[in-house]
């Protein structure tokens, strides 16, 4: 068993190798210039030292070529760093359209995970390899940060809104999850594992109800579909659009026209806000009848409702 600390964590996602290359490039360039400047300082100190007390240095007025050289070269290197980093950041900030959805809620001091099929886990997240996975993050109390070092991804989980990260696991195995934002006295205990499985093994795990179902069952609560009925959402949001509220079929990702004439894309944050504060953005043509559920439903229940709404398709 290895007890030392590795230079880098395992590389187990599609983007991990590119993050590592960028990191090594930044480290290599920094190390090169640290050594170069250090060597030149020592060299010039020795070469141009004062050799007798009354010696006066030469009157040098500068060199345009030298000034341009040490300005242009660092500029070009910094632009390479910026372009490479910005390209990687942009790609990681936009989950692919074909990504499967998972929902994670941070709570002092655990991670609650929900799969669209209804399977729930605590401090574990089973995923198939070679498939894009989009993780929607929320928090029930304070700011947490969901970090998976082996996948080179991390994102804050913020109370009252949803954030997103995505990855594609490439190597089967078990990988640690950490909370990378100090969140209280037991912050160091807020850890978990990603279990990356072959696709057929993941489907078998999912079909069996999940190996963590017994662990999470006591705290899981009703499914999104059941909550939709229990909260009486089904009485107003009819599928045919003839209810007192707008139909939610195919609403996820669509453009919604608001009462004030504006439009908004029905992304996860819009759905989240519309559940907890229904009066914030009223849909055109519908009266403000929906109650405000702020404080009446937990963040985990909101996530379950969002997952169910996103599954409502014709």
pLDDT per position as a tens digit, 64-80: 898 999 899 999 999 99
Question: If you average pLDDT over residues 248-259, what whole number do you get?
Answer: 88
pTM flag (> 0.85):
no
Domain layout of the chain by residue ranges = 16-46+62-93, 100-220, 224-311
What's the confidence (pLDDT) of residue 5? 56
Q: Long-range contacts of range 42-49, CB-CB < 8 Å, 24 or more positions apart?
A: none
CA–CA distances in Å: residue 111 to residues 103, 190, 225: 10, 7, 22
C-beta separation of 234 from 290 below 8 A = no
Which has more pLDDT, 283 or 215?
Answer: 283
What's the confidence (pLDDT) of residue 127? 95
Instruction: List, in order, residues 6 or more apart from 152 with CB less than 8 Å away.
Output: 11, 13, 15, 16, 19, 20
C-beta separation of 184 from 21 below 8 A = no
Could you tell me which CATH class the domain 100-220 is placed in?
mainly beta
SS3 41: helix
Residues in the chain: 314
Task: Tell me if the domain spanning 224-311 has CATH number 1.10.760.10.
Answer: yes
Does pLDDT of 217 surpass 80? Answer: no
Per-residue model confidence as pLDDT tens digits over 118-167: 788 999 999 999 999 999 999 989 999 999 999 999 999 999 888 999 99
Q: Which residue has the tokens 């809620």?
A: 105
Cα 310 from Cα 301, distance rounded (Å): 14
């Amino acid at each position: 068993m290895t007890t030392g600390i590795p230079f880098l964590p395992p590389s187990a996602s599609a983007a991990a190798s590119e993050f590592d290359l960028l990191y090594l490039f930044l480290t290599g360039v920094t190390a090169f210039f640290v050594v170069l400047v250090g060597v030149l300082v020592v060299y010039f100190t020795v070469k141009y030292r004062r050799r007798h007390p009354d010696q006066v240095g030469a009157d040098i007025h500068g060199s345009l070529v030298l000034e341009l050289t040490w300005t242009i070269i660092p500029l070009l290197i910094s632009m390479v760093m910026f372009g490479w980093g910005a390209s990687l950041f942009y790609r990681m900030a936009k989950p692919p359209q074909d990504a499967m959805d998972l929902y994670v809620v941070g709570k002092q001091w655990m991670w609650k995970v929900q799969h669209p099929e209804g399977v729930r886990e605590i401090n574990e997240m089973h995923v198939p390899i070679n498939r894009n996975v989009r993780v929607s993050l929320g928090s029930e109390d304070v700011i947490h940060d969901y970090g998976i070092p082996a996948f080179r991804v991390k994102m804050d989980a913020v109370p009252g809104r949803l954030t997103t990260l995505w990855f594609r696991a490439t190597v089967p195995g078990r990988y640690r999850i950490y909370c990378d934002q100090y969140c209280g006295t037991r912050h160091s205990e807020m850890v978990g594992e990603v279990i990356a499985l072959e696709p057929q093994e993941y489907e078998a795990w999912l079909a069996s109800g999940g190996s963590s179902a017994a662990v999470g069952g006591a705290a899981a609560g009703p499914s999104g579909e059941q909550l939709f009925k229990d909260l009486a959402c089904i009485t107003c949001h009819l599928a045919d659009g003839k209810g007192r509220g707008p139909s939610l079929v195919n609403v996820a990702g669509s453009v919604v026209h608001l009462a004030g004439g504006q439009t908004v894309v029905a992304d996860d944050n819009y759905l989240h806000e519309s559940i907890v504060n229904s009066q914030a953005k009223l849909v055109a043509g519908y009266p403000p009848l929906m109650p405000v559920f702020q404080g009446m439903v937990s963040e985990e229940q909101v996530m379950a409702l969002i997952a169910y709404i996103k599954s409502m398709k014709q």
